[in-house]
Amino acid sequence: MEAVERELTDARLQPASVVTAREDAPARLGIRPEFMPELDRMAGPGSYTLKDLPLGEDLMGQPARAIGVSLQRAISSAVDRNIAVQFARLAPAVSEAQVVAAEAAFDWTLFASGQWSQVDSPSVSSAFTGSSSPVNTSQVETLSGNLGWRRTLVGGGRFTFQHDLSYSDNSTSGQVTNPDPATQASFTLQWDQPLLRNAGSDVTQAEVRLTRNAERNAVQSMRRDIMRVVTDTESAYWDLLRGAYDLVILQRLLERGEQVKTQLENRANIDANQAQIARARAQVERRRADLRRAQTQLRLLSDRLKALMNDPQVPVGSEVVLLPVDAAPDQPVRFSLVESMRQAVAYRPEVQQAVLAIDDASIRQVVANSGRLPDLSLRLQTRFAGLDNTLGETYGEVGQRNFIDYLVGFNFEQPIGNRRAEAVFRQRRLERAQTVLAYRNVVQQTVGEVKAAINRVKLNYELIGQARSSRLAAAEELRVLLVEKERTQGYTVERLDLELRDHEQLAAQEQSEVQAMVEYNQSIALLFQSMGTALERNNIRVVVPAPGETLADWTDAQP
């Protein structure tokens, strides 16, 4: 708590929310408002439609096919079908099974045993037996068994209820036994309880608590993995949007270059020499190569999104190209630094896992502290017994409680010096101190990631304005050049070469604007991931499956 309070001290001084802001590009550039529609038609994201893209051929030599995909569908498919998410969803169920296994240590145990023996062995002859034979024969038939229940108690003791039953028939010559045959029955109640070492529920329940923490840790790991997949999917979606814009920007750049190259070739007999024409042709071919690279890059980005989505309708092996149908939002974001930090500390899986690590270390420290105590145990036992010829008569004697045994016993043990237990206790204390330091480190890293994410959001929102200003300035330069070209009804080779350079500059500024918009939306996704609220932002609810449901759903699944 002190570590968290220290990190939030400065942010609490300004708890009010802040909205990202930037300057208006046309106003700063001094562009007249009546020219804005024309400039937006010349260049910029709004001047393109991401339909019928020049995708080229696929790997099978056929015209590439494309289907549109929304951001919502991409995230929904990734959360439901992504292989990493499916793997992570099984971990809590595995941990839940381990919790059940740990709790089973306190279940009742049924035990039973049985034995039959027949002894026919020689024995030394005695003068008192009245036998004339030099060697006597001992003949005894015995049938014995026991049945009982045993349970380990939460306090560390163990309760046992046991029933013993035996039957014996002595046929030894010259020997008289009474009763013969003899049936003996007994009921025993026994309680073994440690009084110092390993006594109490803090020790006996330690394994159960550790496995429950392991289950909680698995849930947090699942949340972390799902948030990572959601953020990666959104980032891949915006990268795919950027790849689509790069393709249409380079396509337009190539078309404009073809027009200028044709105009230069038409002036070959006027004022254009072969070197100038060759330079224009080289630029056009380079643009065509850039377009080809953009086509390949778009397919690679599409395959990356397919892998994250793991949609059976569009597997990675399919040559269908995914195209984004959602535009990148360009809206300001309202945030509060102190609230963002608080949410990160409250919701980040890494912080919760650090807390669980402290709890685990504390549990082990309690067990180690108990191990320092002497081993002093108590045994209380009561036994009801009966003996007679027949089984019914024997149980009758047991019911009359004529024969009752009592036992009270103590057992003490303590190693001289107790060095091992003391060393283990010191180890556990140091391990707990390590987990506290690890928690402080996680809090620091979490707060730092939140601040870095907010800084990126603010920066990228401002960069959108800067890139838009550069794009408008480049578009205005090209517009003026084209107006002068139309008004003079003539142009020189130098002006055509300048037009080629203006095309390159404008395309580069368009790509920079799209890049800034993509990085802005990616930084927003990273901000929610750093705060630990990426799932809530996308209306994703984590439901941990029960072990039985998981087995039914997954163990019989086809590979």
Mean pLDDT of 449-454: 93
Which of 432, 532, 447, 453 lies closest to 5 in space, CA to CA? 447
Please count the other Cβ atoms lying within 10 Å of the Cβ belonging to residue 457. Answer: 22
Question: How far is the CA of 495 from the CAs of 104, 409, 481, 488, 501, in angstroms?
Answer: 87, 110, 8, 12, 10
130 Cβ contact list (under 8 Å, min separation 6): 174
Query: In this model, does residue 83 exceed pLDDT 50?
Result: yes
CA distances (Å), origin 400, targets 16, 146, 184, 394: 83, 21, 14, 10
Q: Residue 332 in 3-state DSSP?
A: coil
Q: How many separate helices (H) and strands (E) can be counted in the chain? A: 15, 10
pLDDT in tens, 397-409: 888 888 899 999 9
Tell me which of 256 and 180 has the higher pLDDT.
Answer: 256
Of 185, 202, 113, 99, which Cα lies nearest the Cα of 150?
Answer: 113
- CA 218 from centroid of its chain's CA atoms: 7
Confidence class of residue 25 from pLDDT cuts 50, 70 and 90? low
Position 515 scores a pLDDT of: 94
Q: Which helix (H) or strand (E) holds 122?
A: strand 109-124
Check pLDDT > 50 for residue 556.
Answer: no
Q: Is the pLDDT score of 445 beyond 80?
A: yes
Q: Is the pLDDT score of 7 beyond 70? A: yes
Mean pLDDT value of segment 268-276: 77
The CATH T-level fold of domain 2-100+207-363+424-555 is: Outer membrane efflux proteins (OEP) (1.20.1600)
Reported as a single tens digit per residue, the pLDDT across 313-338 is 999 998 999 999 999 988 888 888 88
Q: What is the pLDDT of residue 150?
A: 95
Domain boundaries, the chain: 2-100+207-363+424-555, 109-206+374-422
pLDDT at 557: 42
Torsion of CA 284, 285, 286, 290, to 10 degrees: 100
Interatomic CA distance for residues 440 and 133, integer angstroms: 91
Q: Which two tokens stand for residue 69?
A: 């995909």
Asked if pLDDT for residue 551 goes beyond 50, the answer is no
Q: Give tens-digit pLDDT for 231-242.
A: 999 999 999 999
pLDDT band at 26 (very low <50, low <70, confident <90, very high): low
Q: What pLDDT does residue 261 have?
A: 84
Rg of the chain on CA atoms, in Å: 42
Percent of the chain scoring above 70 in pLDDT: 92
**CA quadruple 288, 293, 297, 299: dihedral, nearest 10:** 70
Distances (CA, A) of 379 to 112, 192, 196, 374, 407: 22, 5, 14, 16, 8
Burial 83-106 (b: 16+ CB within 10 A, else e): ebbeebbbbbbebbbbbeebeeee
N- to C-terminal Cα distance for the chain? 47
User: What does the mean pLDDT of the chain come to?
Assistant: 86
Two tokens at 337?
């630094």
Q: What's 99's DSSP letter?
A: H
Q: What mean pLDDT is predicted for residues 47-62?
A: 83
**Is residue 431's pLDDT more than 90?**
yes
Task: Kindly indicate the confidence band of residue 245, based on its pLDDT and cuts at 50, 70 and 90.
Answer: very high
Residue 558: pLDDT over 60: no
pLDDT at 59: 85
Tally of residues, the chain: 559
- In order, the DSSP letters of 275-322 are HHHHHHHHHHHHHHHHHHHHHHHHHHHHHHHHHHH--TTS-TT--PEE
pLDDT tens per residue across span 533-544? 999 989 888 776
DSSP 183-226: EEEEEEEEEEEESSTT-SHHHHTHHHHHHHHHHHHHHHHHHHHH
pTM of the model: 0.83
Average pLDDT over residues 239-255: 92
Which residues make Cβ contacts (< 8 Å) with residue 71, sequence separation at least 6? 234, 237, 324, 326
Cβ–Cβ contacts within 10 Å for residue 8, how many? Answer: 17
